[in-house]
Structure 1
Amino acid sequence: MNRVESELPFTRLRIKRRVKARSRSSHAQSMHRLRWKENMWGYLFLFPSILIFGIFQFYPMLESVYLSLHMTSPTGKIVEFVGLSNFKELFAGDGFVESLKGTGLFTLYTVPAVVVMALLLAALTNRNTRGMKLLQLIFSMPVALSVGTSSVMWGMLFHPTTGMFNYFLSLLSIDPVMWLTDPKWALLSISVMTIWMNSGFAYIVLLSGMKGIPADLYECAKLDGAGSFTRFFRITLPLLSPTVFFVGIISIIGAFQSFGQIHILTKGGPMQSTDVMVYSIYQEAFTNFRFGTGSAQALVLFAIILVLTLLQFRLLERKVHYQ
Structure 2
Amino acid sequence: MTPGPRAVGKLSTLSGMRIRENVLAIGFLAPSLLLFGIFLFYPLIQSVYLSAHLTDPRGRIAAFVGLDNYVTLLSSEAFWNSLKVTGLFTLYTVPTGIVLGLIMAALTHTKLRFMRVFQFVFSLPLALSVSTTAVIWMMLFHPTLGMFNYFLQSAGLAPVQWLTDPANALLSISLMTVWMHSGFNFIVLLSGMQGISDDIYDSARIDGSGPIRTFVQIVTPLLSPTIFFLIIVSIINAFQSFGQMHILTKGGPAGATEVLVYSIYKEAFVNYQFGTGSAMALVLFVIILILTIVQFTVLEKKVHYQ
TM-score range for the pair, normalised by the shorter chain length: over 0.9
Question: 2:53 is matched with which residue: 53, 58, 70?
Answer: 70
Shift of 1:209: 1.0
Alignment of 1:39-118 (within 5 A): 39-118=22-101
Shift of 1:42: 1.4
Aligned to 1:243: 226
Deviations 1:184-220 (A, max 9, x none): 0000000000000011111111111111111111112
Aligned to 1:311: 294
Aligned to 1:7: none
Aligned to 2:256: 273
Aligned to 1:27: 10
C-alpha distance in structure 2 between counterparts of 1:39 and 1:22, whole Å = 26
One-letter code aligned to 1:201: F
Establish whether residue 225 from structure 1 lines up as the match of residue 217 from structure 2.
Answer: no
Question: 2:173 is matched with which residue: 173, 180, 190?
Answer: 190
One-letter code aligned to 1:184: A
Where 1:225 maps in the other structure, the secondary structure is coil
Deviations 1:214-257 (A, max 9, x none): 11111122122221122212321111111100001000000000
C-alpha distance in structure 2 between counterparts of 1:127 and 1:282, whole Å = 45
For structure 2, the residue ranges without an aligned partner over 5 or more in a row are none
Deviations 1:131-185 (A, max 9, x none): 1101111111111000000000000000000000000100111111000000000
Show structure 1 runs of 4+ deviating over 4 A: none
C-alpha distance in structure 2 between counterparts of 1:296 and 1:72, whole Å = 13
Establish whether residue 161 from structure 1 lines up as the match of residue 144 from structure 2.
Answer: yes
Shift of 1:35: 2.3
Where 1:80 maps in the other structure, the secondary structure is strand
C-alpha distance in structure 1 between counterparts of 2:102 and 2:36, whole Å = 33
Taking a change above 3 Å as real, the CA distance of residues 28 and 222 of structure 1, as seen in their structure-2 partners, is farther
Shift of 1:26: 3.2
C-alpha distance in structure 2 between counterparts of 1:292 and 1:225, whole Å = 64
C-alpha distance in structure 2 between counterparts of 1:170 and 1:88, whole Å = 50
Q: What's the TM-score, normalizing by structure 1?
A: 0.92
C-alpha distance in structure 2 between counterparts of 1:208 and 1:67, whole Å = 43
C-alpha distance in structure 1 between counterparts of 2:184 and 2:23, whole Å = 36
Aligned to 1:14: none
